[in-house]
């Protein structure tokens, strides 16, 4: 695949590699890439963790508005926040005309790197297992393809391209 045949949206747990992979895919195909969390931070001049800490409900509203705005910019690749799948209406917007990739990174690997002081983990390193259990069905429900993100990131990118091609019958 020398060009990206289908627009892509990445979903998955916090720290699973959505932003890293989105950026690399954008560079590989020379296409536009938007990260929803970064877009929100730029727009509101505030860390998403701060907005989230004030009120998750309000954060999901802000997130949905950001998704609408990002979609209007027609990016080819979008990476979501870890909890975007909690909003069915946000996912409906993202699923339209986009292939949804579930970036599934082993929790042990996420745990080794992630900042557990994030409000979502409430300073509890075991909370991530519970979160994975709660969200796994949502990641499965909304995704078209699941990608295991473990090991060399360049090989993971190759795996993604092969799977996307296969899915499209290219």
Ligand X SMILES: Nc1ncnc2c1ncn2[C@@H]1O[C@H](COP(=O)(O)OP(=O)(O)OP(=O)(O)O)[C@@H](O)[C@H]1O
Ligand Y SMILES: O=C(O)C1=C[C@@H](O)[C@@H](O)[C@H](O)C1
Binding site for Mg ion (CB under 5 A): 19
Is residue 153 close enough to count as binding ligand X by CB under 6 A? yes
Is residue 120 close enough to count as binding ligand Y by CB under 6 A? yes
Q: Residue 70, Cβ neighbours under 10 Å: how many? A: 18
Among 48, 16, 40, 19, smallest CA distance to 114 is for 16
What distance, in Å, lies between the first and last C-alpha atoms of the chain? 8
82 is in an annotated binding site: yes
Is residue 19 close enough to count as binding ligand X by CB under 6 A? yes
22 is in an annotated binding site: no
26 is in an annotated binding site: no
Is residue 75 close enough to count as binding ligand Y by CB under 6 A? no
Is residue 63 close enough to count as binding ligand X by CB under 6 A? no
Q: Residue 65 and residue 69: Cα distance in Å, rounded?
A: 6
How many CA atoms are closer than 13 Å to the CA of 63, on its beta-carbon side? 30
89 is in an annotated binding site: no
Binding site for ligand Y (CB under 6 A): 14, 37, 48-49, 52, 81-83, 120
- Give the residue numbers of the binding site for Mg(2+): 19
């Amino acid at each position: 695949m020398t060009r990206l045949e289908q627009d892509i949206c990445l979903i998955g747990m916090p720290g699973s590699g959505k932003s890293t992979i989105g950026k690399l895919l954008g560079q590989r195909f020379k296409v536009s890439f938007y990260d929803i969390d970064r877009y929100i931070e730029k727009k509101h001049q505030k860390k998403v963790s701060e907005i989230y800490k004030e009120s998750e409900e309000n954060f999901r509203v802000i997130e949905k508005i950001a998704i609408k705005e990002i979609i209007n910019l027609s990016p080819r690749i979008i990476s979501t926040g870890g909890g975007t799948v909690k909003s069915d209406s946000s996912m409906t917007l993202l699923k339209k005309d986009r292939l949804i990739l579930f970036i599934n990174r082993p929790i042990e690997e996420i745990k080794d790197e992630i900042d557990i002081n994030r409000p979502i983990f409430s300073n509890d390193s075991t909370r991530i297992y519970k979160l994975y259990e709660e969200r796994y069905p949502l990641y499965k429900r909304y995704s078209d393809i699941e990608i295991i993100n473990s090991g060399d990131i360049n090989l993971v990118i190759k795996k993604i391209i092969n799977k996307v091609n296969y899915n499209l019958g290219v």
